[in-house]
Amino acid sequence: MATLLDGAALARSIRAELRADVAALARRGVRPGLAVVLVGDDPASAVYVRSKTRACQELGIGSETLRLPASATTDEVAGLVDGLNRRDDVHGILVQLPLPPQVATTRVLDLVSPTKDVDGFHPENVGRLVQKRPRFVACTPAGIMELLRRHEVPLSGRRAVVVGRSNVVGRPMALLLSHADATVTVCHSRTQELAAVCREADVLVAAIGRAGLLRAEHVKPGAVVIDVGMNRVADPDEARRLVAPARLAELEKKGYVLVGDVHEPSVAPVAGALTPVPGGVGPLTIAMLLRNTLAAAAGAAA
């Protein structure tokens, strides 16, 4: 049975370590500040933003959420971002995704100052990552690398497969694994013989956004499986197919269960290690956001 890699516990340890950085900045008269731009009323986005706000408050990082209605235009969002770029008390800017369909997401993200881009999405920061001289790294891939490092998962010379090629997770994840000297394959919706390719992986990262897609037949025995997916399942029949019976009580209590891109009941007996959903990668994403915000504040104060 796979060892569960507890991302929540590791995130707590990282946040405890970051307290020293917050204190060091405070001695210099600097309070790190994070501004979150939230457009519309997507429930999942609202939950994520509240989690980030609580994490900032726990560390003593200034946190501000600026809201715009779902009807906001690209120019309105861009104007808000431009104003945050000009504020000295804001060291990090996070534009919560997804944005409404009428908003040009790429244009908005490109407007965030590269030195305040704590999500690591700006083309300049992506380019720096490609060149192995990163400023800010996308938070979810950075958190995964921290998880692998602290659990002493060997990467040099190993085969890694990333399922998903988004700019948020898949592509930066592949770069980071390659920088760690893994041999990396990136799979996507058009990959042929997906299960066969995935079975080559010593480290398998699932980030494709499809509940329970990867099953036992996709996993090499003993592989380390990182599940990035976060999917809400409200249908009782689907939930029974995707989660262990012990978790069905969550469905009755909340009206839904959160499941990853990995079918945990079938994969856990095969894998050597596995991140749970929830409680795996998600808390580490927030921890890396905090770390990036502190780095941005330190850079601005230098």
pLDDT in tens, 117-168: 999 999 999 999 999 999 999 999 999 999 999 999 999 999 999 999 999 9
| Within-domain flag for 133 | no
What is the CATH number for 55?
3.40.50.10860
Pair 102, 182 in one domain: no
Pair 108, 49 in one domain: yes
Give burial (CB, 10 Å; 0-12/13-18/19+) of 78.
middle
Say what the pLDDT of residue 294 is: 98
Pair 101, 212 in one domain: no
CB 159 within 8 A of CB 223: no
| Whole-number Å distance between alpha carbons of 43 and 159 | 37
Query: Out of 52, 220, 227, 261, which one is annotated catalytic?
Result: 52
Residue 253 annotated in active site: no
| Within-domain flag for 57 | yes
Say what the pLDDT of residue 100 is: 96
| Whole-number Å distance between alpha carbons of 109 and 122 | 6
Residue 96 annotated in active site: yes
| Within-domain flag for 293 | no
| Within-domain flag for 243 | yes
Pair 102, 163 in one domain: no
For the chain, list residues with pLDDT below 70. Answer: none
What are the contacts of 123-127 at 24+ separation with CB within 8 A?
126/167, 126/172
Pair 103, 152 in one domain: no
Q: pTM for this one?
A: 0.96
Pair 258, 163 in one domain: yes
Domain count, the chain: 2
| Within-domain flag for 127 | no
CB 209 within 8 A of CB 44: no
Within 10 angstroms of residue 233's Cβ, the number of other Cβ atoms is: 19
Pair 274, 148 in one domain: yes
Of 43, 10, 13, 18, the closest CA to residue 279 belongs to: 10
Say what the pLDDT of residue 68 is: 97
Pair 177, 71 in one domain: no
In whole angstroms, how far apart are CA 118 and each of 21, 135, 137, 297? 16, 9, 8, 10
Residue 52 annotated in active site: yes
Query: Out of 96, 116, 202, 227, which one is annotated catalytic?
Result: 96
| Whole-number Å distance between alpha carbons of 297 and 25 | 8
Query: Out of 117, 119, 202, 261, which one is annotated catalytic?
Result: 119
Say what the pLDDT of residue 302 is: 82
| Within-domain flag for 167 | yes
Pair 34, 156 in one domain: no
What is the residue range of 185's domain? 139-282
Q: H-helix or E-strand containing 26?
A: helix 7-27
Pair 149, 273 in one domain: yes
Say what the pLDDT of residue 44 is: 80
Residues in the chain: 302
Say what the pLDDT of residue 42 is: 83
What is the CATH number for 278?
3.40.50.720
Pair 68, 186 in one domain: no
Pair 249, 164 in one domain: yes
